[in-house]
Amino acid sequence: MPPAGIRPNIRGEFPGLAGNWAYLDTAATAQKPQAVIDAIARCYGVDYATVHRGVYERSATMTLRFEEARAKVARFIGAASPDEIVFVRGATEGINLVAQSWGQRLQPGDRILISALEHHSNIVPWQMLRDRTGAHLDVAPLTDDGRIDEDALIAMIGPRTRMVAIAHVSNVLGGVADVRRIADAAHAMGALVMVDGCQAGPRIVLDMAALGADFYVLSGHKLYGPTGIGVLWGRAELLESMPPWQGGGAMIETVSFERTTYAPPPGRFEAGTPHIEGVIGLGAAIDYIEAIGVAAIHAHETALLHEARRQIGQLNSVRMLGPESSAGILSFVMEGVHPHDIGTILDEAGVAVRAGHHCAQPLMQVLGVPATARASFGVYNDMDDVSRLVRGLERVTRIFGVK
């Protein structure tokens, strides 16, 4: 049975979980509730029309729903205004947008600061910006238990630091960063803060004003919504100061062969026909999450995680990585067994985990491992999934003869 606060039959609301399948890869992508699937199907079906262009009723109605979804996102993350919400293809595109638009102002010798546990999406765009501008890329270390060493990071913020880019929750180790503390320190030195919120959004109550960051990105498919849609939040004054990064329809005010003027944010950054179905689906996913409560989801996943750590801790051959207080994510390695073999054997038992470097190869180097196995929990998991994971790991130890 799931912990209190989560409907006992909630698993049945996710068609992708039909059958006896323990899905423990929510950190990669969340399964979709029927409510989201229905919203997308209706959008593609009887409601379908383009947005922002038609004067006919259905287009106007679809535009209204599209912009209502923007307002839902703003409310969900505690943004000051829906105009601070830019729809992008995913968190990766949101980070690239900032790096390519805001980043045009960087000069040789300016510095960008990230941490050693970042996803490739929060490393590579800054490397590309470094190579274009002559800026430097600094990397803050981790604590012994796999969290960002915030004391060390803050000490590394200098007068030439222009951007601090960090994960709110590590996609590998699950540690939660103190964004407010880091933001206060960065702002005191004149730097901005970009936060990768992909893993935080589904499980931590967000409030942009309280966090104090300058940019924040989310990925829709990790929020129980569709793929191909994400969110960039930016403080209004920053978005207004940034040039567009793509040209086309919708992002303009006027166009002539001599000159083009651009729309204010967020339209300035949303060139072309948008991912209408993705936005509508994301709005439905937020409705679904809010009906349960983010705090309830977090408590649910925390209970599952603690039980998983307790039971796996009894297997001598398994080494768990990351802090005990990680948010819904548990990475581990088994002595003498490659994580891919762990994942394959678990799959034979109907248990799905992720195995690999999790788009965090530099972190694997820091941890001194080629890869890890990762179990990550969602609103639809329960204690039976934990038991099946542990039984599967016991089977791995028997097959490989490890204790």
The answer to whether 198 is a known catalytic residue is no
Q: Which residues pair with 165 in a beta bridge?
A: 194
Which of 359, 364, 366, 383 is catalytic? The answer is 359
C-alpha span between 229 and 280 (Å, rounded): 10
- Tokens read off for 9: 């039959």
d(CA 399, CA 49): 55
* Pairing mode of beta strands 161-167, 192-196: parallel
Q: Which amino acid is at 24?
A: L
- Strand 230-234 and strand 85-88: the pairing is antiparallel
CB-CB contact of 5 with 304 (8 Å): no
Q: Which residues are catalytic?
A: 359
